[in-house]
Structure 1
């Protein structure tokens, strides 16, 4: 038992090494390690993006699309490049940035935001001033107004153009599947410059159709790789910012040592941690790192994307802590976990 006691004492001293400071233990010292250093733990959930049923069953034309307009079968009244007999390649009429196409006789006609049936009706009305009961047929030669960007660990990443209303699953399928290096827990849907509250991991791995939202033109689906895993340490440290996780493992003691906690006077009794459980769920924790330093608790393990904040003094509540850390989060917003971006950086 004496040998075992010495071994435990050695392990504790080794675990404490590299942190700010600790009390040297006499050889053979055995300490009772019990309990957790977590003082508070609160789960936070954000509302998932609504999966409202789309009413737009028809494609709505927009700037960049190319339309093939045939008026009474006459090339001189139809889209440029349309010739009789089907012997000539169709060039079509491109919708300009203002949403108009130009045709003989009628000039500029607004077509953006309209379905093909609606455009045909509008053109029949326009040509009726020059032709008796004109007939008009409109087709889409090129889809260019509803881009969808698939970035990261897709087998076929790139820009795609939606030719009909698509769900998130439809959009993911366009990428031809994921690479083995895909980090689905960090995957995100970016809309209007903000991370949308959608859990792609839950959709693909757990089949949660609540996450299968309708996509919009300009959406970006980003799936990062799992190679560069980090946590982020801010507050009363000399080297704030990301701290790498070798082999995906890192303790709070190691992270604080890497960030330079020993060169500051941070309050390590109330270290605050924001943890992402998924894109729509997270935890807010207060950890007493001093318990670990005194050998009363085992080192606290961190997970990828954890936000660690060391206050300079006792912080009254989480609202105050978030206000102090917010500028630092904004500075690294592009590499944060989806939950952190949604909960703390999205505009209300």
Structure 2
């Protein structure tokens, strides 16, 4: 009888121990689940921070458009997956549960807010993160001496000269300096010449075409950001026409002047019919559309009997032959006024 009571007592103790063990397991399991949920939430928050640090465009209002790609994560919504969502031509993305969502014209932060609101119908406290994976809708404005000026939508990461190339390249009359204006919300231009404009809203800088083409400073071929304005001014030039071997316009490059002898050298000299003693410099007048004629004896300058003469931007050196001086001058004025038929030569 005593043994029976002891057996019953042992069974009760074992049962109590088992219940206690199960309770502890439940507590530990619940704590582990809670820890995992907190850890998942913390990881998602870390992902939000990392995503926001990816690019100035993410942080400062890049406006989404067709073909942009987004990485979207929703806590406890596994059907979202890891694959980026591409904005279609209608400006929409299609997501599990919520269906089509219009995102074109919104920033990543605005999309995140919109998706959070949409997922409230399915989740108690939805935690949503949105980051831009690929930038494929970026308006960039090109002005000046490019083949196709205007607003261009570029796709993905592009450098300055890639954008210019897609716009048809530089025109012959393009100068050696390219100007870039960037909204400061996308960061300052990574150029030594960069400075803020008086309004404090834009970063402005200059780039040397020659330094890039000659690989002297390839770092100036910077990445283009949305809403950049790229301006290519026309080159400052001097012209030589008439009885020379190579007539046309010659870019002054980074200089503001060129001498008559330098220009004749670039034009490969006068031909046999040239009347060098009757040459003229045609210089624009400050107060009218007409040009003043400055007589010039090229023969004496070449022989060293007269000093060399400096030419200014837009000057025309006219070298006549023995006949047809007035007819050639009239033809020259027509060519220059229409901007056609004049070859342009660069020093690079």
Q: Give the alignment's TM-score, normalised by structure 1.
A: 0.41
Structure ID, larger Rg: 2
Q: Give the alignment's TM-score, normalised by structure 2.
A: 0.41
* Greater RCO, 1 or 2 (C-alpha within 8 Å, sep 6+): 1
